[in-house]
């Protein structure tokens, strides 16, 4: 199977979609089905075939990642693994867990990345203020978010239970910073982290608008808070698709990208900080993506309130002998409980291009 080189043409060149469909008509339902949609970008084989903003939004806007930041954090962890500075199956380098008799010492980097650390984290509380994530991000943990996350005890043996957790990704962000610098100065830590992300990820990808938020200790809020323009989220989608950057050079190592896209042993819908288009996950509300509408090669960054950067490859439904690579970005503000129509519309767009 040969897929055309991505981003072979300028990002703003609008071209016809495969199968003769009118590309702007393909993404229009995303705005009709959900008035909270603010921006959509559709890329096929490296060419922008459709792009649209809701009134009041434009190329001048940076859009919040929410949990799409988790996938970006995983990419940065992969860079340090490639450098030999971190090891996927070694005990996670968190000193607080390596005191004599502490069972948390068995938590590995792989377990953290696959959301199966066993730590007692509560992403969504009932009532909402009982959420660990909300307490740490917005109430009493902003001075040192990772400290709050690290201090939690186990509620399950490491590796045995899937539990989605933004606090887990904040631990990963702290591990990145600790690996890059011995400094405890928040400014030094934040600058070092930002420079590393720019040099190893954003600049090779052609991303120029990335803005990262840090807590009071200089730890990047790697589970929730990164901002970029619509086009730059599309460029991050290219990294998720095949790991290559603006000039076609490999940015994310193929073996690391394969790990990110491989199902967690505790939830087949989740990989390494990345959502997968597979059924059979632990969510009682059903599949996170749309396995009935697209192949299992489709993966996605997903964020709160309906942020999606979807990437995948598959056969052209109109010409099964031809394969295509697609990236679909949807950014907006829709309550998670009301996202079903949006998710269905996204699935129809993806399914109309690849199968």
Radius of gyration of the chain (CA): 20
Phi/psi for 244 (5° steps) reads -100, 155
The answer to whether 48 touches 12, Cβ cutoff 8 Å, is yes
Per-residue pLDDT of 217-229, as tens digits, reads 999 999 999 999 9
Q: Which residues of 283-306 are buried (b: 16+ CB within 10 A; e: fewer)?
A: eeeebbbbbebbebbbbbbbbbbb
Q: Which residues of the chain have pLDDT under 70?
A: 1-21, 125, 128-129
Domain formed by 67-205, architecture: 3-Layer(aba) Sandwich (3.40)
- Sort strands 307-316 and 226-228 into parallel, antiparallel or unpaired: unpaired
User: What's the pLDDT at 173?
Assistant: 98
Per-residue pLDDT of 146-162, as tens digits, reads 999 999 999 999 999 99
Q: Which CATH class is domain 18-61+229-353?
A: alpha beta
The reply to whether the predicted model has a pTM over 0.85 is yes
Return the domain boundaries, the chain.
18-61+229-353, 67-205
């Amino acid at each position: 199977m040969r897929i055309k080189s991505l981003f072979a043409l300028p990002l703003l060149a609008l071209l016809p979609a495969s199968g003769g469909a009118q590309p702007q008509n393909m993404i229009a339902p995303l705005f009709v089905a959900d008035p909270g949609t603010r921006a959509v970008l559709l890329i096929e084989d490296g060419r922008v075939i459709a792009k649209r903003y809701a009134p009041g939004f434009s190329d001048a806007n940076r859009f919040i990642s929410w949990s799409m930041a988790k996938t970006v954090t995983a990419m940065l962890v992969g860079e340090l693994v490639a450098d030999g500075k971190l090891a996927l199956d070694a005990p996670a380098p968190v000193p607080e867990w390596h005191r004599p008799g502490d069972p948390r010492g068995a938590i590995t980097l792989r377990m953290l990345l696959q959301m199966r650390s066993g730590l007692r984290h509560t992403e969504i509380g009932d009532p909402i203020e009982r959420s660990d994530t909300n307490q740490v991000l917005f109430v009493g943990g902003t001075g040192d978010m990772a400290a709050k996350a690290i201090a939690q005890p186990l509620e399950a043996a490491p590796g045995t239970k899937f539990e989605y957790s933004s606090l887990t990704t904040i631990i990963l962000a702290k591990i990145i910073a600790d690996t890059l610098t011995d400094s405890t100065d928040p400014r030094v830590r934040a600058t070092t982290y930002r420079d590393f992300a720019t040099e190893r990820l954003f600049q090779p990808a052609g991303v120029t608008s990335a803005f990262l938020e840090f807590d009071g200790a200089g730890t990047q809020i790697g589970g929730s808070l990164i901002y970029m323009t619509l086009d730059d989220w599309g460029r991050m989608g290219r990294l998720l698709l095949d790991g290559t950057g603006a000039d076609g050079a490999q940015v994310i190592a193929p073996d690391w990208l394969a790990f990110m896209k491989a199902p967690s042993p505790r939830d087949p819908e989740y990989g390494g900080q990345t959502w997968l288009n597979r059924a059979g996950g632990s969510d009682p509300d059903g599949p996170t993506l749309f396995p009935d509408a697209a192949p299992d090669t489709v993966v996605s960054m997903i964020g709160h309130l309906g942020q999606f950067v979807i990437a995948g490859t598959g056969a052209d439904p109109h010409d099964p002998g031809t394969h295509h690579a697609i990236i679909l970005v949807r950014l907006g503000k829709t309550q998670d409980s009301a996202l079903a129509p949006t998710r269905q519309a996204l699935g129809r767009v993806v399914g109309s291009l690849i199968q």
